[in-house]
Amino acid sequence: MVKSIIILVLFIFISCSTGHLDEYGIYVPNRLNYKLKDKIGDEIPKRLDTSNLYKYYGYYNERGLLVKDTLDNKDWSIYKKFISNGRVYGFGTNSLNENNLNPNYANKGYYIFDKNNNIIKHEVYTNGNGGQFVIIKYRLGKKGDTLTSIEGKKNYSVYIKEKIPNEWKKYKIDW
């Protein structure tokens, strides 16, 4: 009897799981339900740099002032890499190197450009709140050197373009 109850509880726990770790150790949802996947947006703005990275810089506080965020670990940085085919991936590292650009070890997502509102919509899966797909809106700086997440008329997180060496390996994007 006890064995049956334990097996039943284990089965229920496993069946309620929203995702799993892939062969690279990245948590992925069991059901890929991206809304932006294969959705056609406007032409990607030329000033969006798809050759380099965007590095997290900081956030806007309640008074609207930009605050440089050192995160909990001063050596740790968060990056986003936009690809010209509507794919984007993000990763964190304490030592940026060529191997970090391998999208197999990153959080993958999709993006489109909404020309009418001049925003980039980036969809990503997050483990928070039981796992969910979220769409983050970004405004691209006039020179393409910054990305600022927005909600309504408020600014939130800021990413600054960071150049990477041209000779670093270009990975094939196959998702």
pLDDT, greater one: 133 or 27: 133
Q: Is the pLDDT of residue 2 over 60?
A: no
Q: Which residues pair with 174 in a beta bridge?
A: none
- Looking at the structure of the chain, the number of domains it has is 1
Assigned domain for 66 exists: yes
Give CA–CA dist 102/162, Å, rounded.
17
CATH number of the domain to which 74 belongs: 2.40.128.640
Closest listed residue to residue 100, CA positions, set 34, 55, 161: 55
122 or 6, which is more confident?
Answer: 122
89: burial class by Cβ within 10 Å (0-12, 13-18, 19+)? buried
| pLDDT tens readout for residues 57-96 | 998 888 888 888 776 667 789 999 998 888 999 999 988 9
Tell me if 155 is assigned to some domain: yes
**What's the pLDDT at 26?**
61
Q: Which of 143, 122, 136 is nearest to 45 (CA)?
A: 143
For the question of whether the overall pTM of this predicted structure is more than 0.95, the answer is no
For residue 9, being part of any structural domain is answered with no
In a domain, 14, yes or no: no
Is 2 contained in some domain? Answer: no
| Domain membership of residue 156 as a residue range | 19-162
pLDDT number for residue 29 = 61
Sign of the C-alpha dihedral computed for residues 64, 139, 95 and 90 taken in this order: positive
Q: Is residue 116 part of a domain?
A: yes
Q: Is residue 12 part of a domain?
A: no
174 located within any domain: no
Percent of the chain residues past pLDDT 70, beyond the cut: 71
